[in-house]
Amino acid sequence: MKITVLGSTGSIGVSTLDVLARHPDRFEVLALSGHRQVDLLADQCRKFRPAYAVVAGAAEAKRLTGLLAAEPGTEILHGPQALETIASLPDADAVMAAIVGAAGLAPTLAAARAGKRVLLANKEALVMAGAVFMAEVRRSGALLLPIDSEHNAVFQSMPHGYSGSMARSGVRRILLTASGGPFRTTPHAQLQTVTPEQAVAHPNWSMGRKISVDSATMMNKGLEVIEAHWLFNAPADRIEVVIHPQSVIHSLVDYIDGSVLAQLGNPDMRTPIAHALNWPQRIDSGVSPLDLFAVGQLNFERPDPVRFPCLELAYRALRAEGNAAAVLNAANEVAVTAFLERRLSFLGIADLIAATLDAVPRQELPDLDAVIEADRQGRDTASELLSRRFGG
């Protein structure tokens, strides 16, 4: 199987290459993209010898060309269009869509349009453009496999060949687990003075700064609720969030006969990556077996809506439909950036997102251009509100 890895220098990309390296007889790396992490991308090209490598711009392409001068064989491309090119290569059997943020939207959509096996780690494809993206998946016959540990766990716990109808499949609820982040037990009064350093100190996972803040606010879980809606055709009131501090159960599916199926494992992204790469067969991922005796106990809590208002904002956007989720995502990115730059308080993140949702009129999103415009409008509105009402 020939694989394109979009975002090969990020954490998901690095984990993907780790799994691929364990099975050289099964997988061949066809193309990699690394944006501006040229040195790491060069190391990956030397090891995996892809036919194509994509970087952000001409300067990065020139540097990568120099680093690989002694090892020809990789065609070096740059720019957004090049990402779409490698995402839809005729020889590509599967595409790992792991570019973070809105930049990953167009190439992920290109992979779906080309009918690939799409290993989806890019949230924005569904949060911003769920209707557009799923329409392309249905039209092209692409195979969509979720990489987020929660959605992959739901996928594994759903009936084989799930048709998209919870009622016909006997599914009552989808239960998405959440760690609760670093402030699960912090008194609400102390959240006003939370620092970026405290917010990025996740108790269970090593992640980038932005997603770590999203975990602290539980906006990450709100975005995952929106993703689950599109992946499994699940209405908002059939998707529940459960705080599970140990991060051992990655999500659950509740059936009408009283059964609840869960997927458990050590918190390591190589498990869902390996599952999707070789689905429906299993392969070694390099992840250590789960030691239940070391885990000892499993705890569950309801999310506190006062402590985690971002979660309810995501449900609000999902129910509003149209452009609301794209606006929510854009406003959150502006708010988190402002928080990390100390221009907005931690509690101000939710306030700014709510104000942005209130300010932007609802519109339908018929195509990718409309999605991109909704994203721009959300960012512009949030930025204006930040400077005018929030002092940032």
**Which long-range CB contacts under 8 A does 127-130 form with residues at least 24 apart?**
127/223, 127/226, 127/227, 127/325, 127/326, 127/328, 127/329, 128/102, 128/325, 128/326, 128/329, 128/371, 128/374, 128/375, 129/105, 129/326, 129/365, 129/368, 129/371, 130/226, 130/227, 130/229, 130/230, 130/325
Helix axes 346-359, 309-320, angle to 10 degrees: 20
* Residue 231 included in any domain: yes
Tell me if 5 sits within 8 A of 16, measured CB to CB.
Answer: yes
**Does residue 277 share a domain with residue 215?**
yes
* Residue 263 included in any domain: yes
CATH number of the domain encompassing residue 373: 1.10.1740.10
**Does residue 220 share a domain with residue 327?**
no
* Residue 95 included in any domain: yes
**Does residue 263 share a domain with residue 161?**
yes
Cα–Cα distance for residue pair 177/309, rounded to 1 Å: 17
Q: List the domain range (segments joined by +) for residue 288.
A: 154-295
DSSP characters over 141-191: T-EEEE-SHHHHHHHHHSPTT--S-HHHHTEEEEEEEE--GGGSSS-GGGG
The per-residue pLDDT for 204 is 65
Per-residue pLDDT of the chain (392 residues; tens, 9 = 90+): 999 999 999 999 999 999 999 999 999 999 999 999 999 999 999 999 999 999 999 999 999 999 999 988 999 999 999 999 999 999 999 999 999 888 899 999 999 999 999 999 988 899 999 999 999 999 999 999 999 999 999 999 999 989 899 999 999 999 999 999 999 999 988 999 999 999 998 766 666 788 899 999 999 999 999 999 999 999 999 999 999 999 999 999 999 999 999 999 999 999 999 999 999 999 999 999 999 999 999 999 999 999 999 999 999 999 999 999 999 999 999 999 999 999 999 999 999 999 999 999 999 999 999 999 999 999 999 999 999 988 77
The per-residue pLDDT for 101 is 81
Residue 69: what residue type?
A
Strand ranges inside the chain, DSSP E: 2-6, 28-35, 52-55, 75-78, 94-97, 117-120, 143-146, 171-178, 239-243, 249-255, 260-264
**Does residue 7 share a domain with residue 94?**
yes
Cα–Cα distance for residue pair 119/66, rounded to 1 Å: 31
The per-residue pLDDT for 272 is 98
The per-residue pLDDT for 52 is 98
Q: Is 161 left (phi over 0), alpha (psi -120 to 50) or beta?
A: left
**Does residue 353 share a domain with residue 246?**
no
Cα–Cα distance for residue pair 89/115, rounded to 1 Å: 11
**Does residue 174 share a domain with residue 142?**
no
CATH number of the domain encompassing residue 74: 3.40.50.720
The per-residue pLDDT for 71 is 87
**Does residue 134 share a domain with residue 21?**
yes
